[in-house]
Amino acid sequence: MPEATNATDTLTITVDGKEIEARPGELLIDAAERVGIYIPRFCYHPRMRPVGMCRMCLVEIDTGRGAALQPACMAPVAPGMNVTTDSRPVVKAQDGVLEFLLVNHPLDCPVCDKGGECPLQDQTMAYGPGESRMIEEKRHFEKPIPISDLVTLDRERCILCDRCTRFAKEVAGDPLIHFLDRGGQTQVNTFPDHPFASYFSGNTVQICPVGALTATPYRFRARPWDLQQTESTCTSCSVGCRVVVDSSRNRMLRMNGVDIDPVNWSWLCDKGRFDFQAFESDDRLHGPLVRRGSELVPVRWSEALNEAASAIREGLDRSGPAGVAVLGGARLTNEAAYAWAKLTKGVIGTDHVDCQLGDGLPAEVVLGLPRATIDQACARGGTVVLLAPDLKEELPVLYLRLRHAVLEDAATVIELAPAATTSTELAAASLRHRPGEQVTVVRALLDGGPAPQGADEDGFRRAAEALRRGPVTVVIGRSSVAEGAGAVVDAAAALLAGLDEVRFLPALRRGNVHGALDMGLAPGVLPGRTALADGRDWFAGEWGAVPVEPGLDATGILRAAADGRIDTLVLLGADPIADFPDHVLAERALAGARTVIALDTFLTASSSQADVVLAAAGYGEVDGTTTNLEGRVSTLGRIVTPPGTARSDWHLAGDLARRLGADLGLESVEATWAEIERVAPSHAGVTWELLTSPEASDGVVVPLPSRLSATEVDVEGNALGGSDVSVVGGAGVPAADVQHGQAAAAAVASVAAEGGPQGEAGKAESHAHESAAAAHEDSTDVSAEERGHDDAGGVEGQDDVPVAEPPPGDRPSLLRFAPPAAEPSVPPVDRYSLRLFTTRKLYDRGTLNQQARALRGLAGRSTARVNPIELARLGVEPGGALKISSARGSLVTATLADPDVPRGAIVLGWNLDGPDPGDLIDAEAPVTDVRVETTS
Amino acid sequence: MARLTEANELVAREIIGRYPRPKSALIPLLHLAQEQDGWVTDDAMEHIAELVGVTAAEVLGTCSFYEMFKREPVGTYLVNICTNISCQLLGAEELLHHAEATLGVKAGGTTRDGLITLEDVECIAACTEAPCLQVNYRYRYKVAPEDFDRLVDDLRSGALVDEVPPHGTLHRTRQRIPTDRAAGAASPVGGREPAWIASRPAPAKDTP
């Protein structure tokens, strides 16, 4: 896929007598297709390098020396090129190529899954000879053979186009399938007992031009002409790949990627491709359940809703709005998230809402940092800093994009991670830091000094250079739930302060967590990326009332519930017992809340302990929109009806509101979106018409550039993702996720900046802050000083800024990141402890993975990975058992010697079968140090 | 079956060191594996994949392209009888039938004692000397049936041990590259041990 050298230059070529414009470097096959001249092809795929293997795209090209047959997929356009795609020689060539391909291709179309949507079938009909002169025996192979858990291969159908093998090597980087026995018996196959265990194997099925590769879950389940296609967006993670869902008779049967330029380039990961199966599981909740005694029994909706509403009302009577808390919401559509935000913050009046479960980043950080798009992150020659979890395991398609950027577009990746990840081999430099001490490495990089002790000097130098070169995108997320979010936030703050041109791509993993954050399902924020303090008056005008004080985050809510201070806990698709890093606290919280109301699609570890369970509609059962990690809003398709009487989450919000004596006024998805567009500052101008228009088929990134350019572009032209007023967190946010919660709360301030000196001045100020903090890291005086400074700013701000009375019609400003005031105090590792680091796998014990037939059983077991030297020191044979203890609890696990894990660390898989690190983690501690001992 | 022995792994690393990229050593390493076991085992291919940093499927893709890499066990002596046109005209078919009858195996088979594998092959470029055959790729020209019988007797009796080494053997011809002339690809195995960056950050610079 050679890049067009310069998009503005064009040259003219003649195709079939018609003069067309083409971009220099573009391939003839693409240039012709753009003007509607389709040249048939099998091996060519626009997202992979051309190989010219199938010869189907032969056309006559005359560049002045007479016409000659050449493959159009291998011919870059040249000025004056004269091309004929339908001359006699071309037709004869196409005829011959198809006859040749059919020498060995079986005519088993009636029993082949591809029949009806098969390029070979279609092109044989359109360009083929109609008859074959071949009477010889065709090739035979044992069939079908599984080449992975998800993909089945019928080798005799293969036309050796090299698409799947090229994909495996070039795009996915997992060359586990290859041409074998090249010659008369060439076949695609794996090495014996080395299956095609790629997270991206399903894409080979999608791009196979014949029925050779079929997805095992879809095989023999439908005929293409029976399928109904609905475009939608995948919500398995927050990348938001565009998909088309094929369904038949009210069942989703298949999902394929749609090629949209800014996101997924037609690729999907196998989890995203196959986990829709979970929603037709027999374990789905079909209707509401209410606890009677020790059992959850099915009841009618009115009864369940009445019970839920009266529990909320009684809770309000007993302990006021602060007695109600809502956890979760990342599964919801944007509209449902907005309805729930309006219900919780506007009607119930509590701000104890968090759509993340202590495994993400504080809302004000995610919403306040200048946001990058995937395209910006993957820009040619850019620098990407990974302060993030293992992307291939958590956001697989983002990994594919980044891999392409590194290999094809000269992007430089700098990885900061405690141990090697799947991104390490892409990284120009992979710098190892102790869990919780990211900021040490970041500061050293920004200082431009010599490499600190322990760092790989060459790598460090390369990383520092790449940072200086810019533009820099930081992929920011929680790589390990065994450490607090504070460490990442500090590192981000240092990068923001120390670099001129830096943007952030938040690698939060849950499907629509970004939509939920944008819609205000987090403490201290309101819909549209507004701080509670800023938007209070605007939203009070819109909703009637909003909470006065910022509420608790997930850790705070669970702590309060465990202490008996939460009366009613609503779980919006959240499963804290499985997902919250601290299992002990989560279990105590569910036991401690007086009433637990769960909206869920399945009975999970948490929702099975609820008092009222409201069956919710799942993926493909509701329409609406979703928001990805770029802030890209795209539409979801409603494909099937929910099982039983399960209802959509936004309906349930309305039902509960009515029973609480309020009317949300959200009658439909369109009406809800219209209200979001009207009230949410970041969503201004993003109308339903725009979202559903053909121009927005790639989705719409919010806020719209027009809104940003008006107020939020700094001197260098960087959209800052914030407006002319800066807000940090919200007063009294007990940011328990941020380990230095007290200081952060103290730093809360509305910095006055009506003139908008947010560019250089703001930077200098925060840089000064960083330096001071760096120089006197351990000095409490400094934090006091900082606090004083910020408070002063806050007072000034309240004086100057018309926050109290926003002019009518003027929306509140957008949140803006401000660095936390104090360093988190990470205790040094003592010589007897190992620092715990958790990693996730794509296939884990998550509900969708376990409920989707195709994916069940792919989850691995958790094994502790330790440096072999450390194992030897402990006297443990690799594979031997080890007892791991923390202040919270202990577990026994098998071990694996891994030289990529530094000494002093122990790596455990999160949410896998086997021992569960959630038993060891204290969510309120900045890091988790564990003692290990042999079991014998 | 067998991965490369420790001694052969050292040879393998030396071979890898001759090339700018480890992957370039793939074919020499397949020869090495074939020399070790007489044929290329799956385990050896996996081992080679680890040594040069590719997947086993890629090693197999290369290995399976070449007829002369055997992926099934073959006898100590591989006898290839040419049946292409020149040899055929001068009695190669008869020679092959005679060989099959003498050895008691069909072309492609191995004698029960594991000594001889018989194969019919396409032209081996000795048409002037037809009919011809090869024993472990060493030529025998103008082979009459009685010549073949004598050859088999000699192989069985060990009279040719010095002349014809067992199938796969390369050590007599192995190239020796002085280390100072090797391109010096780093072995992908055994890099530096990861260590955490431990020191405190340098004091921050003064800011404007």
Residue A176 contacts B where some CB pair is shorter than 8 Å: yes
Residue A191 contacts B where some CB pair is shorter than 8 Å: yes
Q: Do A440 and B61 touch (CB under 8 A)?
A: no
Q: How far is A56 from chain B (nearest CA, A)?
A: 25
Asked whether residue A475 falls in the same domain as residue A611, the answer is no
Q: Which residues contact A148 (CB under 8 A, 6 or more apart)?
A: A190, A195, A196, A197, A198, A201
Q: Do B197 and A420 touch (CB under 8 A)?
A: no
Using CB atoms, which residue from A192, A420, A437 is nearest to B194?
A420
pLDDT at residue A716 in the model: 40
Letter for the amino acid at A745? A
Residue B52 contacts A where some CB pair is shorter than 8 Å: no
Is a pLDDT exceeding 80 seen at residue B9? yes
Which of A434-469 are b and which e, b meaning 16 or more Cβ less than 10 Å from the residue's Cβ? bbbbbbbbbbbbbbeeebbebbbeebbebbbbbbee
Residue B146 contacts A where some CB pair is shorter than 8 Å: no
The rounded distance, in Å, linking the Cα atoms of B22 and B51 is: 8
User: Residue A328: which CATH number?
Assistant: 3.40.50.740
The answer to whether residues A587 and A561 touch, using CB atoms and an 8 Å cutoff, is: no
Q: How far is A653 from chain B (nearest CA, A)?
A: 49
Strand order, beta sheet including A67-71 = A18-22, A11-15, A82-84, A58-62, A67-71
Q: What are the sequence ranges of the domains in chain B?
A: 6-71+168-181, 77-157
Span A912-934, pLDDT tens digits = 998 889 999 998 888 899 998 88
Q: How far is B122 from chain A (nearest CA, A)?
A: 15
Asked whether residue A392 falls in the same domain as residue A339, the answer is no
DSSP state of B46: H
> Looking at chain A, which residue has its C-alpha nearest residue B43?
A192
Please report residues of B whose CB lies closer than 8 A to that of A775. Answer: 203-204
Using CB atoms, which residue from B45, B55, B208 is nearest to A175?
B55
Tokens of A762: 């703001």
The rounded distance, in Å, linking the Cα atoms of A431 and B201 is: 14
Please report residues of B whose CB lies closer than 8 A to that of A164. Answer: none
How many residue pairs bridge chain A and chain B with CB atoms within 8 Å of each other?
115
Residue B45 contacts A where some CB pair is shorter than 8 Å: yes
User: Residue A483: which CATH number?
Assistant: 3.40.228.10
ipTM above 0.90, yes or no: no
User: Residue A884: which CATH number?
Assistant: 2.40.40.20
Q: Which of A702, A722, A755 is the last residue of a domain?
A: A702
Give a yes or no: residue A176 inside a domain.
no
Asked whether residue A451 falls in the same domain as residue A500, the answer is yes
Tokens of A792: 């002063």
How many structural domains is chain A composed of?
A: 4
Q: Which residues contact A27 (CB under 8 A, 6 or more apart)?
A: A2, A50, A72, A73, A74, A75, A76, A77
Asked whether residue A314 falls in the same domain as residue A374, the answer is no
The domain defined by B77-157 folds into Glutaredoxin (3.40.30)
Considering the four listed CATH numbers 3.30.70.1140, 3.30.1490.190, 3.40.10.10, 1.10.10.1590, the one that applies to the domain covering B6-71+168-181 is: 1.10.10.1590
Q: Which of A82, A101, A120 is the last residue of a domain?
A: A101
Q: Do B207 and A768 touch (CB under 8 A)?
A: yes
pLDDT at residue A514 in the model: 97
Query: Angle A760-775/A486-498 helices, nearest 10 degrees?
Result: 130
Please report residues of A whose CB lies closer than 8 A to that of B196. Answer: 418, 432-434, 437, 454, 902, 904-905
Give a yes or no: residue A560 inside a domain.
yes
Torsion of CA A135, A140, A144, A148, to 10 degrees: -120
The rounded distance, in Å, linking the Cα atoms of A449 and A492 is: 20
pLDDT at residue A903 in the model: 85
Give a yes or no: residue A178 inside a domain.
no
Please report residues of A whose CB lies closer than 8 A to that of B207. Answer: 764, 767-768, 771
Give a yes or no: residue A137 inside a domain.
no
Q: How far is A682 from chain B (nearest CA, A)?
A: 33
The beta strand positions in A605-670, using DSSP E, are: 612-615, 624-627, 632-636
The rounded distance, in Å, linking the Cα atoms of A424 and A51 is: 29
Asked whether residue A480 falls in the same domain as residue A553, the answer is no
Give a yes or no: residue A119 inside a domain.
no
A427: nearest Cα among A465, A474, A462, A457: A462
Asked whether residue A463 falls in the same domain as residue A563, the answer is no
Span B107-152, pLDDT tens digits = 999 999 999 999 999 999 999 998 999 999 999 999 999 999 999 9
Please report residues of B whose CB lies closer than 8 A to that of A191. Answer: 42, 45-46, 55-57, 59-60
3-state secondary structure of A453: coil
Give a yes or no: residue A265 inside a domain.
yes
Give a yes or no: residue A195 inside a domain.
no
The answer to whether residues A724 and A759 touch, using CB atoms and an 8 Å cutoff, is: no
User: Residue A90: which CATH number?
Assistant: 3.10.20.740
pLDDT at residue B198 in the model: 57
Asked whether residue A301 falls in the same domain as residue A370, the answer is no
Asked whether residue A448 falls in the same domain as residue A431, the answer is yes
Q: Which domain holds residue A372?
A: 364-506
> Looking at chain A, which residue has its C-alpha nearest residue B207?
A768
Q: Do B194 and A453 touch (CB under 8 A)?
A: no
Which residues in chain A show pLDDT less than 70?
A: 1-8, 706-809, 823-824, 936
Q: Which residues contact A611 (CB under 8 A, 6 or more apart)?
A: A290, A291, A307, A311, A595, A596, A597
> Looking at chain B, which residue has its C-alpha nearest residue A772?
B204
Q: Do B197 and A181 touch (CB under 8 A)?
A: no
Place of tokens 């369109």: A670
pLDDT at residue A870 in the model: 86
Q: Which of A101, A125, A160 is the last residue of a domain?
A: A101
Span A396-453, pLDDT tens digits = 999 999 999 999 999 999 999 988 899 999 999 999 888 888 888 999 999 887 888 7
Asked whether residue A355 falls in the same domain as residue A483, the answer is no
Residue B23 contacts A where some CB pair is shorter than 8 Å: no
Residue B194 contacts A where some CB pair is shorter than 8 Å: yes
Asked whether residue A606 falls in the same domain as residue A486, the answer is no
Q: Do A903 and B201 touch (CB under 8 A)?
A: no
